Amino acid sequence: MSGRDPLDVDEARRVLPTLAVLADLELEVGATSEVRKQSFAPGEIVIAAGERGDACYFILDGQARVRNGERTLSLLNPGHCFGELAVLSNAPRSATVEAEGPLVVLRVEAQRFRRWYLCHPPLESLLGTLQQMYQRPEGGLVTIHRGEHDGHPCVSSVRELANGRAMMSTQLIGRKVLILSVSGPHEGDARTVEHAGAEAPGERVGASRTLHLRGGVPVSAEIVGGVEGVDHLVARMVMGRSLREAELARFRWTGTTAAAQASSGLLCPCVGLTIAQARTLLGQDGATDLAQRCGAGSICGNCRPKLESIRNGSTHDGRDAPKLGPRQRLRRLLGRG
């Protein structure tokens, strides 16, 4: 192992841009004393499971192998970071990382890395996304590398799946864009389902999600504006399972395929529509067809009475409903009132 010589300012300015995710990082005075370049021989251990997380590492050249005992978990390529989980969670190392061949890394002391993580949004966004993707238990070996997507720098992880398939997760650096895809073969009719984040009241303008299916099975997705709620969709893609119409309707409205959590404010569990959202939509246009707008009431139909009560100005439990006489109740039951 080479000595841990700190970088001088000029060398740091040459090295950091090659990592893409740190290209725009402003170096504070004294920061370079906590950033060192190290070299490792093939098979040499960089970090060991159970050790304290005192630093994290960015690969400058070569390849690193992540393993749990003798089982290989992933292969890391230039531009990728490892050891960050123990640093950020202040926990022991969960895996061993060794040099696959000659390896050159940038070692960043824990305190310095935490400062970078808090002040540098591209780094926080990238690590948050990749942690969700390469820590999933499904599938086999993961290979992580950097590259470009439509001219934008990115980091991609490729996970081996069953039956010769593979799943790729690509995070654009400096942008909240995540692209997911599963390799073929894919059969069945092609279908595209879109979610526009600004459609549901209270969501961020500019957020969007597009899902592509073959024969009802999700094969790719583009996620813009944050990755909250994508775990269920990723699991379906990994397993190659088709999505039900209720899940697709829910994706159109909420951007996630996961079932909505039951709550007193939930109106339509199939699509995740809340009472407050329904009132907002109806307030925008009293004649709004909620089934056409967001799918509410079009899947199982159990929420239609609740939707009708809100349309008529009452809550779903009738607490605000006007008192009706026997004749009025009969006329409404017969659809005449």
Pairing of strands 35-40, 5-6: antiparallel
Which parts of the chain are beta strand (E)?
Answer: 5-6, 35-40, 45-47, 55-61, 64-68, 71-76, 81-82, 96-99, 103-109, 142-149, 152-160, 166-172, 177-182, 190-196, 208-214, 217-224, 266-268, 273-274
Q: Which amino acid is at 210?
A: T
pLDDT value of position 173: 77
Mean pLDDT by 10 residues, the chain (337 residues): 56 63 58 80 95 90 90 84 85 92 91 80 64 56 76 82 85 85 90 77 71 96 86 88 90 86 76 82 63 78 82 53 54 52
Alpha-carbon span 327 to 322, nearest angstrom: 14
Alpha-carbon span 176 to 51, nearest angstrom: 33
Q: Which amino acid is at 68?
A: N
Copy the structure tokens of residue 257: 């395929």
Alpha-carbon span 123 to 215, nearest angstrom: 37
Copy the structure tokens of residue 324: 């009706």
pTM for the structure as a whole: 0.65
Q: Which amino acid is at 103?
A: L
SS3 100: coil
**Count of CB atoms situated within 10 Å of the CB of 277:** 24
Copy the structure tokens of residue 1: 């192992």
* Cβ burial 106-125 (10 Å sphere, 16+ → b, else e): bbbbbebbbebbeebebbeb
Report the 3 state secondary structure along 271-284: CCEEHHHHHHHHHH
- Domains of the chain, with CATH numbers? 1-146 (2.60.120.10), 176-259 (3.30.390.30), 260-337 (no CATH)
Q: Among candidates 42, 41, 77, which has minimal Cα distance to 60?
A: 77
Edge-first strand listing for the sheet containing 103-109: 5-6, 35-40, 103-109, 55-61, 81-82
